[in-house]
């Protein structure tokens, strides 16, 4: 199975900050990497697919990058509604696997 | 508008069975693969499995933790995906989400239902 490791597990940031979350795969997954945002009590929401493609309707302050084993999710200017938990997920091979999550909290 | 609505969750004893349904609307159900993802209380996301569409043989893939106990099926005429869960264990307690899968470069769960809670306890 491909292991997905996110860092950090949590972070505190202020509104307006630039935030970067990293995701590392245990083997190369090309660009078969998705990012999701989840708020408490809600279903996950797709932000980025294929490592760097912005899902329709997602604000442009979100961006994704990377390929192979190392990926990033960047929020260019953190907004109040962005405080949530973020997950990466690989669909290169089954079983699909998720990172453990990164909780973004208010500083 | 794409909508996915899960139903069928509840409290069940270990060793018993439960069937979840995912009713879809707002898109041509038969044109998409569908998946199930679960989340134990306070934990992260875990892929359960998916079912391909008819053009790909309606074949299925499962996580090792549920293989042989869970079965995913679909009824394209009703736009419903099912998750049949047998021999339930306490560690199957989770919110179960169904998702639509799109394939643009990579397979991606793009729309998610609101989830249904399954509690396995005696």
In angstroms, the separation between the Cα of residue B121 and the nearest Cα of chain A is 22
Q: Which of A31, A88, A94 to mutate to test the interface with B (most CBs of B within 10 A)?
A: A94
Residue B63 with chain A: CB contacts under 8 Å = 95
Q: How many angstroms separate the CA of residue A49 from the nearest CA in chain B?
A: 7
B interface test, pick of A64, A96, A99 with most B CB neighbours within 10 Å = A96
CA closest to A55 among chain B residues: B110
Query: Any chain B CB within 8 A of the CB of A79?
Result: no
B59-108 pLDDT, tens digit per residue, is: 999 999 999 999 999 999 999 999 999 999 999 999 999 999 998 888 99
Q: Is the pLDDT of residue A2 over 90?
A: yes
Confidence at residue A46, expressed as pLDDT on a 0 to 100 scale: 98
Rounded mean pLDDT, B31-53: 98
Please judge whether B97 and A44 are an interchain contact, meaning their C-beta atoms are less than 8 angstroms apart: yes
> Quick one: pLDDT at residue A13?
96
Place of tokens 């359960």: B48
SS (H, E, C) A41-97: CCCCEEEEECCCEECCCCCCCEEEEEECCEEEEEECCCCHHHCCEEEEEECCCCCCE
Contact yes or no for B108 and A91 at CB 8 A: yes
* pLDDT given at position B13: 98
Nearest CA distance, A45 vs chain B (angstrom): 7
Q: Which residues of A touch B110 (CB under 8 A)?
A: 46, 49, 55
Q: Taking all residues of chain A, what is their mean pLDDT, rounded to a whole number? A: 97
pLDDT band at A99 (very low <50, low <70, confident <90, very high): very high
Predicted pLDDT at B102: 95
pLDDT band at A107 (very low <50, low <70, confident <90, very high): confident
The pLDDT, as a whole number, for residue B105 is 82
A·B CB contacts under 8 A = 66
A99 touches B at CB < 8 Å: yes
Structure tokens at B45: 């996301």
- The yes-or-no verdict on residue A73 having pLDDT over 90 is yes
Average pLDDT over residues A47-54: 97
* Per-residue pLDDT, A39: 98
By the 8 A CB rule, do B105 and A52 touch?
Answer: no
Question: In this structure, are residues B104 and A53 in contact, taking their beta carbons and an 8 Å threshold?
Answer: yes
pLDDT band per the 50, 70, 90 thresholds, residue A14: very high
Residues linked to residue B24 through DSSP beta bridges, in sequence order? B4
Nearest to B104 among A42, A45, A49 (CB): A49
- DSSP string of A7-22? E-SEEEE-TT--EEEE
C-beta atoms of A50 and B104 within 8 A: yes
């Amino acid at each position: 199975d491909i292991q997905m490791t996110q860092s950090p597990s949590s972070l505190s940031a202020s509104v307006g900050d630039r935030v970067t979350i990293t995701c590392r795969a245990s083997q190369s997954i090309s660009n078969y990497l998705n990012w999701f945002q989840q708020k408490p009590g809600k279903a996950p929401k797709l932000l980025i697919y294929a490592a760097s493609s912005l899902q329709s309707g997602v604000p442009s302050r979100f961006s994704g990058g990377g390929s192979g084993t190392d990926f990033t999710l960047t929020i260019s200017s953190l907004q109040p509604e962005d405080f949530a938990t973020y997950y990466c997920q690989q669909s290169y091979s089954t079983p699909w696997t998720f990172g453990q999550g990164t909780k973004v909290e208010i500083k | 508008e794409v909508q996915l609505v899960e139903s069928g969750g509840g409290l069940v004893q270990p060793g018993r069975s439960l069937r979840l349904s995912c009713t879809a609307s707002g898109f041509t159900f038969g044109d998409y693969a569908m998946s199930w993802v679960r989340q134990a209380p306070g934990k992260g996301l875990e892929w359960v499995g998916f079912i391909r569409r008819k053009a790909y043989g309606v074949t299925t893939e499962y996580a090792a933790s549920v293989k042989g106990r869970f079965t995913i099926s679909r009824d394209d005429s009703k736009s419903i995906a099912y998750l049949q869960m047998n021999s339930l264990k306490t560690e199957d307690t989770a919110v179960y989400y169904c998702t639509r899968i799109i394939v643009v470069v990579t397979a991606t769960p793009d729309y998610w239902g609101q989830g249904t809670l399954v509690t396995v306890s005696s």
